[in-house]
A and B are shown apart, each in its own frame.
Chain A
Amino acid sequence: DAGVIQSPRHEVTEMGQEVTLRCKPISGHNSLFWYRQTMMRGLELLIYFNNNVPIDDSGMPEDRFSAKMPNASFSTLKIQPSEPRDSAVYFCASKTDRGYNEQFFGPGTRLTVL
């Protein structure tokens, strides 16, 4: 299994531009999580999907952030318009929901907003 796949791995953009991050979860996993990691705040949950449905989006910082999961093998996190304070590493993770088990993380997307 290729594991969780994220793209792009690095993104540099200018303030005000739209940014789209992509994630392909592990096949057969029906839970998907988007996280943001910074030195100041650590690992923060942004949104959690189960069976392609958003269950908890309380961590989405504001309306500039949106996430979709159109099918079981693809999810996007969009920031529009982007701001310098959005600079961080964004991780996608997936897991099965059979019991209380571990998450599998992707390699992350390092976003820099100038």
Chain B
Amino acid sequence: EDQVTQSPEALRLQEGESSSLNCSYTVSGLRGLFWYRQDPGKGPEFLFTLYSAGEEKEKERLKATLTKKESFLHITAPKPEDSATYLCAVQPGGSYIPTFGRGTSLIVHP
């Protein structure tokens, strides 16, 4: 059974304090790993897709990396506007249905 585990469940940072969110997965034939950002009262918003181990993608203060067992979302010098829940999802081979993790709730204090 495909599984996605995100840690920590919640993370509080001071503005400028860099950190990383983890997404560990077990899936049959990974075809893609997705990161989404969800603000309160809104739907998840797509951030990145990673397709193979060793791949990295960046967007502003965010950088996503992928290994064969996990993905990290690195947040460099975060700002309060980065506060949100970050969701990870994995796409198994042979299926168009992704499996989502429970998310990490990030709060960045000014």
Binding site for B on A (CB under 8 A): 4, 31, 33, 42-43, 45, 48, 50, 56, 91, 93, 95, 97, 100-108
Contacts and interface: CB of A to CB of B under 8 A. Distances in A.
A108 B91 CA distance: 22
A50 B51 CA distance: 23
A33 B43 CA distance: 13
B97 A100 contact: no
Given A31-B96, A45-B97, A48-B97, A104 B46 contact: yes
A103 B89 CA distance: 10
Contact of B42 (A33, A48, A97, A108): A108
A56 B97 contact: yes
Give chain A's interface secondary structure class.
strand
Interface residues of B, number: 21
Contacts of B73: none
Contact of A100 (B44, B51, B87): B51
4 shortest A-B CB distances, which residue pairs? A105-B43, A100-B32, A100-B31, A42-B102
A100 B27 CA distance: 14
Interface string B49-76: 1010000000000000000000000000
Interface string B13-37: 0000000000000000001101010
B46 A103 contact: yes
A4 to B, nearest CB: 8
13 contacts: A42-B103, A43-B87, A50-B96, A91-B43, A93-B43, A100-B32, A102-B34, A103-B34, A103-B44, A103-B46, A103-B98, A105-B44, A107-B42
